[in-house]
Every structure is written in structure tokens, then in C-alpha cells.
């Protein structure tokens, strides 16, 4: 069994203006960082909200994911290189390394453990949590800080193209983190993830087996009609609504889990879908 020991939420719906995270980061942590961009600032803020006040073991691992990564810097470097025929700035080049943000989070928290940046189209959160779950179950790690970070960008066309979402989708930004351990003492909740993708029949079977009163949350890619169908499978389940509190970003499932744990008491199944296959995560803070 895997246990959640801390959660941190940073979730915003920017109003046509990039939030000034440099000031927020300074106010939150009391530290001034140079050479870090918006994406890295976002990562540090979310991680700090989760575990900034805790005394973590230096060997705590970091597993981080994102739907679109450091897309603002990526876009700037892309334009400089291919359109303006210029070299990118050194700091941009360094920050584009896949786990530069993880490095800065580790530095901020004084961590020296394993540091991974994982990407997966459509299931980035689930795949990252699956890797964390396996590492904890196999006792390869004692504690893992898992984060999902996605930044909002003023010109979202490229992001929408990369994410495969339609033009009308409103994008938000978030940095949501949780601390996972294999030990139960002082835990906030239990966590479990179905280790593979399910087909519709397997999903139905799973939903029929859950206890009455279980909340169901749906990933943003679910068509409304399918959500309605699934809610009919087990009428003892309740819908968990979070949609009004956020806009779309790929790592939203971490926000949903953390929001639930921060606001509700009970059991939540988070369902997500891609190409007809489902992934299911379960959190429970009943005890």
C-alpha cells in the first residue's frame, strides 16, 4: 500500500496576463533565484507548498511530469534558432534540459535523491505515479515527491497544438505535488493506481465493485455523454465536481486528487481516458 503524506496545490486561471511568479516565489520561500524561468518558478512554488515546511529526508526522490514542459522557453529558442538564425541564450539552453526544473526543486528543498522527469502523452500523471508506486512497492525508494507542472502561455496556439485540444479550450496553469511513502504512520490518505489501462468492460467491472459513497472524478478528455453513461454503472457512486475551479492543463489529475484530499473526506476514483483505454487512480482519506 502507498500513502500520501503531503499535498501542495498551485492552480490558477490567468486572465490574459502571465502571473508574476518571481515575487510570489520570493514571498513564499524568502529566496531570490536568478536564471530560472516561469516554468521552473512554478515547479518550485508547488513543491514548496507541499513540503516546504517539512523536514524531508535528503534521499527523497523527485518524479516530475508535465504535459507541455517549458513551452515558453522552447518556443523562444525555436524562433531564435529557426527563424532568426541565432543561437539561444545560455540560460534558456540550460533551462530547457528536461529535468532542469527538477534540479532547482531539489536544490530548493535540499534533496539529493533520484530526480526523474517523465513525459507521456495523455496520461502523464498516471504514468509518473505508476513509476513512483512501483519504486515504493519494490522498496527502491522510501519517499517520492511527485509533481505535475504546466504553465499558461500568453499565445496558447502552440500549446493547444501540442496538447491536441481544440481552439475553444481555456488553458490554465498549475503545479501540484504530493509526497508518497510506503509507510502509513502520519499519512493523509492511501493511494493506489490500476497498473495498466482498462477497456470499457474492465472499467465497468471495477466500478461495480466499489463501495457506495465513492466519489468519481473524470479527466478533461471525457465526452459529457460518456460521463453520464459511467455514472449510471454504479448508482451508489457520487460525481466529484472540480471543473469550475480550474482551466485545462495536462497534469490536472494531480490537482483533482489534491483538491479532493484537501476538501473532502472519503474515497475518490479518478478516471481518465485516451483512445478508448482508461486509467483509474484511487485515493482514500477515510481513516
- Interface positions with other proteins (CB under 8 A): 32, 34-35, 86-87, 89-91, 94
d(CA 260, CA 128): 19
Nearer to other proteins (CB atom), residue 70 or residue 150: 70
Rounded to a whole number of angstroms, the minimum distance from the CB of residue 35 to other proteins is 6
Sheet strands (E) in 134-251 = 143-150, 173-181, 189-193, 215-218, 238-239
Nearer to other proteins (CB atom), residue 37 or residue 151: 37
Nearer to other proteins (CB atom), residue 22 or residue 200: 22
Neighbouring residues of 22: CB distance < 8 A, sequence distance ≥ 6: 33, 41
Sheet strands (E) in the chain = 2-8, 11-12, 61-65, 115-118, 143-150, 173-181, 189-193, 215-218, 238-239, 267-274, 277-284
Nearer to other proteins (CB atom), residue 33 or residue 222: 33
Nearer to other proteins (CB atom), residue 43 or residue 131: 43
Which residue, among 260, 169, 271, 264, has the nearest Cα to 217 in the 3D structure? 271
Rounded to a whole number of angstroms, the minimum distance from the CB of residue 111 to other proteins is 23
99 phi, psi to nearest 5 deg: -115, 35
Rounded to a whole number of angstroms, the minimum distance from the CB of residue 157 to other proteins is 25
Nearer to other proteins (CB atom), residue 87 or residue 170: 87
By residue count, the chain amounts to: 287
Nearer to other proteins (CB atom), residue 80 or residue 99: 80
DSSP 44-55: HHHHHHHHTTS-
Residue 67, Cβ density class (10 Å: 0-12 exposed, 13-18 middle, ≥19 buried):
buried
Cell of 144: 517520492
Which residue, among 77, 81, 72, has the nearest Cα to 162 in the 3D structure? 72
Rounded to a whole number of angstroms, the minimum distance from the CB of residue 36 to other proteins is 9
Nearer to other proteins (CB atom), residue 96 or residue 198: 96
Cell of 97: 534540459
Rounded to a whole number of angstroms, the minimum distance from the CB of residue 79 to other proteins is 13
Rounded to a whole number of angstroms, the minimum distance from the CB of residue 37 to other proteins is 11
d(CA 264, CA 188): 12
Rounded to a whole number of angstroms, the minimum distance from the CB of residue 92 to other proteins is 9
Rounded to a whole number of angstroms, the minimum distance from the CB of residue 68 to other proteins is 24
Amino acid at each position: 500500500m502507498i500513502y500520501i503524506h503531503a499535498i501542495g496545490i498551485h492552480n490558477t486561471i490567468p486572465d490574459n496576463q502571465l502571473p508574476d511568479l518571481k515575487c510570489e516565489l520570493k514571498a513564499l520561500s524568502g529566496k531570490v533565484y536568478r536564471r530560472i524561468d516561469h516554468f521552473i518558478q512554478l515547479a518550485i512554488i508547488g513543491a514548496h507548498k507541499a513540503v516546504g515546511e517539512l523536514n524531508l529526508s535528503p534521499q527523497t526522490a523527485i518524479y516530475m511530469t508535465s504535459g507541455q514542459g517549458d513551452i515558453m522557453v522552447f518556443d523562444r529558442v525555436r524562433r531564435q534558432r529557426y527563424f532568426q538564425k541565432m543561437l539561444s541564450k545560455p540560460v534558456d539552453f540550460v533551462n530547457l534540459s528536461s529535468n532542469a526544473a527538477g534540479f532547482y526543486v531539489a536544490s530548493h528543498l535540499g534533496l539529493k535523491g533520484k530526480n526523474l522527469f517523465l513525459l507521456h502523452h495523455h496520461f502523464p500523471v498516471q504514468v509518473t505515479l505508476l513509476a513512483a508506486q512501483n519504486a515504493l512497492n519494490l522498496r527502491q525508494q522510501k519517499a517520492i515527491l511527485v509533481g505535475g507542472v504546466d504553465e499558461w502561455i500568453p499565445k496558447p496556439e502552440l500549446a493547444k497544438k501540442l496538447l491536441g485540444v481544440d481552439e475553444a479550450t481555456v488553458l490554465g496553469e498549475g503545479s501540484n505535488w504530493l509526497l508518497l511513502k510506503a509507510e502509513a504512520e502520519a499519512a493523509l490518505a492511501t493511494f493506489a493506481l490500476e497498473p495498466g489501462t482498462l477497456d470499457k468492460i474492465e472499467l465497468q467491472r471495477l466500478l461495480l465493485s466499489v463501495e457506495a459513497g465513492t466519489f468519481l472524478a473524470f479527466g478533461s478528455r471525457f465526452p459529457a455523454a460518456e460521463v453520464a453513461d459511467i455514472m449510471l454503472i454504479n448508482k451508489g457512486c457520487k460525481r466529484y465536481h472540480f471543473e469550475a475551479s480550474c482551466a485545462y492543463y495536462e497534469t490536472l489529475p494531480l490537482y483533482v486528487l489534491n483538491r479532493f484530499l484537501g476538501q473532502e473526506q472519503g474515497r475518490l476514483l479518478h478516471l481518465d481516458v485516451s483512445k478508448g483505454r482508461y486509467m483509474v487512480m484511487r485515493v482514500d482519506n477515510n481513516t
